[in-house]
Amino acid sequence: MRIKYTIPIVFFVALVIIEKENSIVSRVSDKLALKQTSQTPLQPSGSYRTLPKHNGSFAPLGKMDSAFMLMKRRLVDYSQHQEVVTEGRRHILLLATTRTGSSLVGEFFNQQRDNMFYLFEPLWHVEKMLTLETGGTNATAAVKAYRDVLRRLFLCDFSLLERFIDPLPADHTTAALFRRSSSSSLCEASVCSPAIKGVFERYHCRNRRCGPLNLTMASGSCLQKEHRVIKSVRVRQLENLRPLAEDPHLDVRFIQLVRDPRAVLASRMVAFAAKYKNWKQWAVDGDVPIDNDEVKKLKGNCDNIRMSAEIGLRQPTWLRRRYMLVRYEDIARFPLRKAAEMYRFAGIPLTPQVRSWILKNTQASKGTSGVYSTQKNSSEQVEKWRFSLPFKIAQVVQKVCGPTLKLFGYKIVSSEEMLRDKSFSLIEDKVFKFL
């Protein structure tokens, strides 16, 4: 009797083990297959690449020897690839809005060159193309396009992005990739083709003069890196990125960077003077029409940022251990500490090279920092806006962005004297839990 019941039980256990290992090996095979297919010339098609599937079928009950041999082989495969599966790759999406210090924070990751592939604003091309085609960015179309392009790029597939680059790349080669020079990986010797006479980058490619970028080579560079980081100021709602968080082929961590809306507006009025000419005029006149479209736009931006942060801070199941909120003011005051926190959240060791870069570039001397520079004396930048933004404008921001200011821990000022008083900090000590 003991033999009669033991054999089925043993076989059932074996089937469970085989099924579990089948799932693990399938994931490994997917990654290896993806790596192999990504190294072939990119095909700008509209569909995702087809990954190998496993049907999980097993040998009939009468063929126990075959089943156990299959289990043994898969266990060996699993032990050989266990490191690939357990460690995996990190995919980090740095979400921000313009003039929040996102370029500086992006460099915290870009400088870890040996194992980090960093892309600076690839969605710029998507937004530009959608605007040209429709005369204005269609929100629904943009959400899907942004999400699909991000997914492909995290998988080192540039084919979908190609379709949004103008002019359209020829043989997967372009001289028009937005801010290529901001990505160390796209300026490495292995990716940098010789400069062609009459064809040059708008910016020097780091310390090199490179010719047009071959996106197949870019894909190869991406595949060589252990982790991938993308910075974007074009995604308005975190909820729209849920499919990325739930994608089994990705391990996405979202870092949302925020800044005092009053400081953001003050910075934009300088950096984008033409677009903010109404605000500059109101600053002179002292009278801001609260029902103006520009004011409504400001309110909409504040609401979007706040709603995204509220979702992230609630830590729903799909975002658990995947979301971190960081204030620019905290990074500016404690750059190394906050960088270490971000790396710890991402599950990536912070290298001495990155530490050295942060110390050098957050303590820049006067005269070395410009509007778009990542070299700044960051602690001096935190509340510099308080002495350039008129109190009347600050009041308007406080009125339309009040809930956002409160959530992120920025204090309200009730007078011009309070606004200019450096001894009175406008930054509350606040801890945002992300684990």
For Cα atoms 263, 393, 255, give the angle at the middle one, nearest 5 degrees. Answer: 25
pLDDT digits (tens, 9 = 90+) for 232-284: 999 999 999 999 999 999 999 999 999 999 999 999 999 999 999 999 999 99
Res. 321: pLDDT tops 50: yes
For Cα atoms 231, 121, 229, give the angle at the middle one, nearest 5 degrees. Answer: 35
Would the CA dihedral through 272, 278, 280, 283 be positive or negative?
negative
C-alpha distance from residue 72 to each of 17, 60, 79 (Å): 10, 17, 11
Largest CA distance in the chain: 97
* pLDDT value of residue 378: 61
* Helix or strand (DSSP H, E) at 332: helix 328-333
Alpha helices in 42-176 (DSSP H): 64-87, 102-110, 123-134, 139-154, 159-162
Lowest mean pLDDT among 135-149, 178-192, 199-213: 199-213
Tell me if 123 sits within 8 A of 7, measured CB to CB.
no
167 upstream amide cis, omega within 30 of 0: yes
* pLDDT value of residue 25: 37
d(CA 27, CA 51): 10
pLDDT digits (tens, 9 = 90+) for 58-83: 334 444 455 445 444 443 443 333 33
CA atoms within 13 A on the CB side of 186: 31
Give the model's confidence band at 39: pLDDT under 50 very low, under 70 low, under 90 confident, else very high.
Answer: very low
d(CA 98, CA 96): 7
| Nearest C-alpha neighbor of 308 from the set 235, 399, 398 | 235
Res. 296: pLDDT tops 80: yes
* Tokens describing residue 14: 């074996």
* Tokens describing residue 119: 């892309």
d(CA 179, CA 285): 37
d(CA 359, CA 355): 6
pLDDT digits (tens, 9 = 90+) for 147-198: 999 999 999 999 999 999 999 999 999 999 999 999 999 999 889 888 765 5
Would the CA dihedral through 212, 113, 353, 382 be positive or negative?
positive
Alpha helices in 200-290 (DSSP H): 215-224, 242-245, 261-271, 277-285
Which tops the pLDDT comparison, 90 or 54?
A: 90
DSSP code, position 363 = B
* pLDDT value of residue 140: 87
Res. 434: pLDDT tops 90: no
**Mean pLDDT throughout 341-351?**
95
* pLDDT value of residue 89: 87
d(CA 33, CA 25): 12
* pLDDT value of residue 259: 98
% of residues, the chain, pLDDT over 90 = 65
pLDDT digits (tens, 9 = 90+) for 352-378: 999 999 999 987 554 444 544 455 556
Residue 258, strand partner residues: 327
* pLDDT value of residue 161: 98
Lowest mean pLDDT among 31-45, 103-117, 365-379, 416-430: 31-45
* Tokens describing residue 430: 């606040």
> Which amino acid would we find at residue 221?
S
pLDDT digits (tens, 9 = 90+) for 10-37: 344 344 444 444 444 344 334 434 443 4
Q: Is the pTM of this model over 0.85?
A: no
d(CA 199, CA 209): 11
d(CA 131, CA 345): 35
* Tokens describing residue 410: 């920025």
